[in-house]
Amino acid sequence: MTSKVEDIVQEVYDAYKTNHHSSQYVLQREKHFHYLKRGLRQLTEAYECLDASRPWLCYWILHSLELLDEPIPDSVASDVCQFLRRCQSPQGGFGGGPGQHPHLAPTYAAINALCIIGTEEAFGVIDRKKLLEYLYSLKQPDGSFLMHVGGEVDVRSAYCATSVASLTNILTPALFAGTAEWIARCQNWEGGIGGVPGMEAHGGYTFCGVAALVILKQEHLLNLRSLLRWVTGRQMRFEGGFQGRCNKLVDGCYSFWQAGLLPLLHRALHARGDPALSMAHWMFDQLALQEYILLCCQCPAGGLLDKPGKSRDFYHTCYCLSGLAIAQHFGSGDLHNEVVLGIPENCLQATHPVYNIAPEKVARAVMHFLQYPVPSLDPAPAAQ
């Protein structure tokens, strides 16, 4: 299977070399914009299987549009707010659609989508007190969280919980007591992080674990060197994209889940005063990743995909573009170095490597919710 993928990718790269003597790599902005704009209003029946992931569709599309620097019309933003309000559960948190049970994954997606919109209306949708109650209802004695009441435990829940709590100013030491230590137990002998302690290291879970620890300011609990060795080994030396696990195939979505780890690791190692760190580049081949995304992951009709031969979808559009942004932008603020492959118009807006929304949207949400105190919860009623 690996050699089959390599053969297809080789054909794409060969065709490019033959046809483009001027060597210009082009991000098909207009095509992607139309695909995304249409998807926000109407979806085909092919998306029926994602009926429990509707806040995710809002987030994937809104974040892709902000990366492309496409403004969201006020009327659309307001409609998304009203829709997400209907997804919010009376118990707190958000479900996958109106009237569905709350779940941490769509809760994360809904709050990210509302922060991207960033209006008073959007912030006003979130019932912070109920959200805090909901997070407490999922907390386990070992520090981990359930994904939903009666559901499974894995590292995703720790990330979703820390992400929404930190953005909305409901993060308390009591809520996350033991969480950082539990995440650290999920790092295995490979260096990456598995879904639960003892599981195989995986790009999605590793991102969730590291990002959660960054929010909790506990990255030092990990063996950062073995983590760095594991994640840098996941960039495919032939294709240039990333795989999610050892001995697996390249997949465009890991352009974010894996490459997004390197800014987080850079920051953690820099805080330790590591003298070997570059002040201009992340610790992966940024141009090779951009080449893979631009040549192998764009659908000619708009949207992005896993690998050549696969269909486009909004998930891969979001995470291919997010990975492209990570590869293009090193650092932030005063220390910022752009590394853009192809025409200058390929340059995307930057994304925050912890929350995967625009850095200024993170700042706006944090500043807004800091105006309000952490909600105080009523003592639990005595069992009858």
In angstroms, the Cα distances linking 28 to 81, 157, 295, 303 are 29, 35, 11, 9
Q: One of 313, 318, 319, 361 is an active-site residue; which one?
A: 313
DSSP state of 378: P
Active-site annotation holds for 245: yes
Active-site annotation holds for 253: yes
Q: Please state, in angstroms and rounded to a whole number, the distance separating the CA atoms of residues 59 and 117.
A: 10
Active-site annotation holds for 63: no
Q: One of 34, 248, 267, 310 is an active-site residue; which one?
A: 248
Q: One of 205, 254, 292, 319 is an active-site residue; which one?
A: 254
Q: Please state, in angstroms and rounded to a whole number, the distance separating the CA atoms of residues 125 and 227.
A: 38
Q: CA 260, 196, 267 angle in degrees (round to 5)?
A: 30
Q: One of 306, 307, 320, 355 is an active-site residue; which one?
A: 306
Active-site annotation holds for 154: no
Q: Tokens 């509707």: give the residue.
A: 54
Q: One of 186, 208, 253, 296 is an active-site residue; which one?
A: 253
Q: Please state, in angstroms and rounded to a whole number, the distance separating the CA atoms of residues 311 and 298.
A: 10
Active-site annotation holds for 202: yes
Q: Compute CA 357 distance to the chain's CA centroid, rounded to the nearest angstrom.
A: 8
Q: Please state, in angstroms and rounded to a whole number, the distance separating the CA atoms of residues 153 and 206.
A: 15
Classified as helix, coil or strand, 193 is: strand
Q: One of 54, 156, 245, 361 is an active-site residue; which one?
A: 245
Both structure tokens of 316: 């891969």
Q: One of 54, 103, 156, 202 is an active-site residue; which one?
A: 202
Q: Please state, in angstroms and rounded to a whole number, the distance separating the CA atoms of residues 312 and 301.
A: 9
Q: Please state, in angstroms and rounded to a whole number, the distance separating the CA atoms of residues 157 and 144.
A: 8
Q: CA 151, 154, 159 angle in degrees (round to 5)?
A: 110
Both structure tokens of 215: 């929010």
Q: One of 63, 251, 312, 355 is an active-site residue; which one?
A: 251
Amino acid at 42: Q
Provide the Cα torsion 238, 242, 245, 247; round to 10°: -10
Longest dimension (CA), the chain: 78
Both structure tokens of 123: 């912030």
Rg (C-alpha) for the chain, rounded Å, is: 20
Active-site annotation holds for 316: yes
In angstroms, the Cα distances linking 320 to 82, 116, 279, 285, 324 are 28, 18, 25, 16, 6
Q: One of 316, 329, 352, 361 is an active-site residue; which one?
A: 316
CB-CB neighbours of 369 under 10 Å: 18
* Residues classed as catalytic: 202, 245, 248, 251, 253-254, 306, 313, 316
